[in-house]
């Protein structure tokens, strides 16, 4: 898993003139100051084509080029980790991922990931994306549970990736948010990118990539709403950031302001209430229509019972079905739309 180096180029403006080079590199490349100093010492930073020390004070017009080398190669180790397989044939695998499992290996998470588990099962996996992706077509956040598509053949990976890009794969998420939406339907169409103040978070930023999520309220309880979220795009943390941007963060989401009130929601840390419950697509090889459902995991079911005040849900074979999760989408044109960035209004 060697990857390719990445480059960042910027010209120092008048407002940033006089800034230490390590601080300028940290800002331009989105790394920590310590990482920036390491890059400078290693000769990966050029100022107008020359090397400078970390203490160098930038001058307006300085051309900065930062090259971040790829991480050293590291073998992906197959591991014997049980997986909940919803569907499998020669081309396609559908997995119900548990919350707490990282999808693919990365610094800080080299083992125990979904990819380690997939490789531990044996059998073919699409080569596209390299060993660290092992046939993955899309991803889920570590603490989000639910359905994931895995391609077992390169043909399946190509077809599924194209279908996803063309929005021919329907992905619906069950989510509980704090507070109440202003109506039954809400479309959030706001661009997402790295938070300029914290690179580990995502945020609504005008320079980000386009992102749209449709939210359909299924039930209104005392302190929360149960929603069905429909992804039109697949940005990192999209549902969580979009809901937080309209003042209704996902319950249990410590990163985006929904972590308070866990006791009320009967939701232990580090869980948040977001579950990829429904997936519809056509088979990448045969073209046959496919539909998959993933029941709420026990921890989220207990939370739903607590916030809804409906103890009968605990023993129902499919609580989401009772609450209308698998019903047809509402007609277009009857929604409220929120666009732009918060600063744009």
233 lies in some domain? yes
Identify the CA nearest to 181 among candidates 104, 268, 245, 270.
Answer: 245
Query: Which is more confident, 30 or 63?
Result: 63
> Residue 118's domain spans which residues?
84-164
141 in active site: yes
Tell me: do 109 and 192 sit in the same domain.
no
| pLDDT band at residue 87 under the 50/70/90 scheme | very high
Question: Which of 33, 68, 103 is at the close of a domain?
Answer: 68
Tell me: do 207 and 290 sit in the same domain.
yes
Please tell me which residue in 22, 141, 214, 253 is annotated as part of the active site: 141
311 lies in some domain? yes
What residues contact 309, with CB distance under 8 A and at least 6 apart? 221, 222
134-153 pLDDT tens trace: 889 999 999 999 999 999 99
- Quote the tokens at residue 274: 């977001």
Tell me: do 141 and 174 sit in the same domain.
no
271 lies in some domain? yes
194-209 pLDDT tens trace: 898 887 899 999 989 9
CATH of the domain at 309: 3.30.2350.10
73 lies in some domain? no
75 lies in some domain? no
CA 313 vs CA 40, 304, 317: distances in Å: 58, 8, 8
Which residue carries 């429904």 as its tokens?
278
Tell me: do 183 and 294 sit in the same domain.
yes
Tell me: do 194 and 311 sit in the same domain.
yes
What 3-state class would DSSP assign to 243? helix
260 lies in some domain? yes
Q: Which run of H or of E encompasses 164? A: helix 154-165
């Amino acid at each position: 898993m060697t990857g390719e180096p990445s480059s960042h180029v910027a010209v120092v403006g008048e407002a940033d003139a006089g800034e230490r080079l390590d601080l300028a590199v940290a800002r331009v490349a989105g790394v920590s100051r310590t990482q920036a100093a390491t890059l400078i010492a290693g000769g990966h930073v050029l100022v107008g084509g020359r090397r400078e020390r970390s203490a160098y004070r930038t001058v307006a017009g300085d051309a900065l080029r930062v090259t971040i080398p790829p991480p050293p190669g590291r073998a992906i180790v197959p591991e014997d980790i049980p997986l909940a397989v919803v569907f499998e044939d020669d081309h396609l695998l559908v997995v119900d991922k548990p919350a707490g499992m990282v999808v693919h290996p990365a610094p800080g998470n080299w083992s125990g990931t979904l990819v380690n588990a997939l490789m531990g099962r044996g059998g073919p996996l699409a080569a596209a994306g390299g060993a660290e992706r092992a046939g993955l077509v899309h991803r889920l956040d570590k603490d989000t549970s639910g359905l994931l598509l895995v391609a077992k053949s390169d043909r399946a990976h190509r077809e599924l990736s194209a279908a996803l890009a063309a929005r021919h794969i329907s992905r619906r998420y069950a989510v509980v948010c704090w507070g109440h939406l202003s109506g039954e339907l809400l479309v959030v169409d706001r661009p997402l990118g790295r938070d300029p103040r914290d690179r580990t978070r995502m945020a609504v930023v005008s320079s980000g990539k386009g992102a749209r999520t449709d939210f359909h309220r299924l039930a209104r309880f005392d302190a929360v709403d149960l929603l069905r979220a429909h992804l039109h795009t697949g940005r990192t943390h999209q549902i969580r950031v979009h809901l937080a941007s309209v003042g209704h963060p996902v319950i249990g989401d410590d990163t985006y302001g929904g972590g308070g009130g866990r006791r009320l929601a009967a939701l232990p840390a580090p869980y948040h209430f977001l579950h990829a419950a429904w997936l519809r697509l056509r088979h990448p090889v045969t073209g046959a229509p496919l539909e998959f459902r993933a029941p709420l995991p026990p921890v989220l079911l207990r939370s739903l019972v607590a916030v809804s005040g409906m103890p009968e849900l605990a023993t129902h074979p499919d609580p989401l079905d009772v609450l209308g999760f698998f019903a047809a989408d509402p007609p277009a044109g009857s929604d409220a739309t929120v666009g732009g960035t918060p600063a744009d209004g």
